[in-house]
Every structure is written in structure tokens, then in C-alpha cells.
Amino acid sequence: MASFNGREMEKKKALAPNKTLSEIMALKRKSIPYVRYGHYFTIYGLVKYIPPPVGDLLRYGVLKFYLKGISKKTWIKDGVTISYPENVSIGSNCTLNEFVFINGYGGVEIGNWVRIAHRTSIISEDHGYKRRDIPISLQKKKGKKIVIGDDVWIGCDVKILKGVKVGKGAVIGAGSVVTKDVPNFAVVVGNPAKIIKYR
């Protein structure tokens, strides 16, 4: 899929902090990416909830076309959502289980042999919220890349926030909120996630 980084840059510049609410709304109206994401969400939506194993193969086929990268033997279960697909890459032999959510705004890079359990969210963006005179939804977003190393196991209902690097072989316990980098082979749990041991 074509890269839209140029247009994203324009949009970021447009949402500079000295603009008024009406100026920002006008610029937003111009830049809402209906077309560029509309066809992706429509086509992916057709296969999103088809049961495995056929559904997994169809989702892989659609994502192969839209993601920055996805390698062989990676299984995408039903209900998985990926936004900003052009910034997301997934290695080989991975499994993204049911209802995993990936926001690729700031970039998401997933290595090989990664297991991601159901309902986990990987969110590489935050809304700006400093100004009180305009709604949060209209303030400039902040994105920072998330990198997940090879052979990582991420439990169910985990949240991984922007800028985090998860080292190879790490384990993230169910329900954890990961706000800081995780060293190689560490086992982390809790909110915020802390190291309890190494494998």
C-alpha cells in the first residue's frame, strides 16, 4: 500500500498549537482519511469475523496487501483489528488471537514467533490534551513506535503503550499495562508492569 507519510506530516503541521478551534476544524475536515482507510476497513471487514482456519487464511491474504509487512505461517484470528496498517509489520510464525487490537499510528514492529493472547491492545498513539480551549479529539496526536522482539509471549487483556520496546523472549502476564521497556527474557506483570523474574 502507498505510504501516506507526506500527507500525515502536512496534517501534523496543520494542527500546530497556535491555531484556533475553527481553523483546526477546517483543516481536519480536509484531511480526514475516508478514502485511504475506507477501502481497507471495508475489505478487511468482510473477512474479519470469518471463523478459523479459513478466516485466518483470508485475513492473512488481505493484510498481506495492506500491512507494511507480514510473514508466512502467521495466524490472524477472528475479530483482530489493525489501524494505520501501512505502519505495522508482523514477522513469521506469530499468532494474534481473538480481538487483538493494534493501533499503528506511531509504528508497530512485531518479530517472529510472537504469541499475542485475546483482547490485548498495542497502542502506538496518544491524543494531545494540553489545551483546554479545543476538544482533545482535535489536538495533535503523539505517536511513538512499539517494537516487540522475537519469541515474546503476551498474555490476554494486556495493554502496551506507545514507545515501548519488548525484548526478545519476554513474557507479559495477563492483564498487564506495559508503560516501560521490557528487557530480554524478563517476565513482567501488573499495572504498571514490573519484572518478577527472568526466564
Ligand X SMILES: CC(C)(COP(=O)(O)OP(=O)(O)OC[C@H]1O[C@@H](n2cnc3c(N)ncnc32)[C@H](O)[C@@H]1OP(=O)(O)O)[C@@H](O)C(=O)NCCC(=O)NCCS
Question: Rule CB under 6 A: which residues touch ligand X?
Answer: 115, 117, 155-156, 171, 173-175, 187, 189-190, 196
Q: How far is the CB of 156 from ligand X (least distance, A)?
A: 4
Q: How far is the CB of 191 from ligand X (least distance, A)?
A: 8
Residue 123's DSSP bridge partners are 103
Q: How far is the CB of 17 from ligand X (least distance, A)?
A: 39
Considering the complex, state which of residue 78 and residue 125 has its C-beta at the smaller distance from ligand X.
Answer: 78
Considering the complex, state which of residue 88 and residue 96 has its C-beta at the smaller distance from ligand X.
Answer: 96
Among 82, 152, 169, 84, which residue's Cα sits nearest to residue 117? 152
Task: Answer positive or negative: Cα dihedral of 39, 43, 48, 53.
Answer: negative
Q: How far is the CB of 82 from ligand X (least distance, A)?
A: 19
Considering the complex, state which of residue 31 and residue 121 has its C-beta at the smaller distance from ligand X.
Answer: 121
Helix (H) or strand (E) holding 165: strand 165-166
Considering the complex, state which of residue 135 and residue 190 has its C-beta at the smaller distance from ligand X.
Answer: 190
Cβ atoms of residues 91 and 101 within 8 Å: no
Among 89, 96, 133, 132, which residue's Cα sits nearest to residue 111? 89
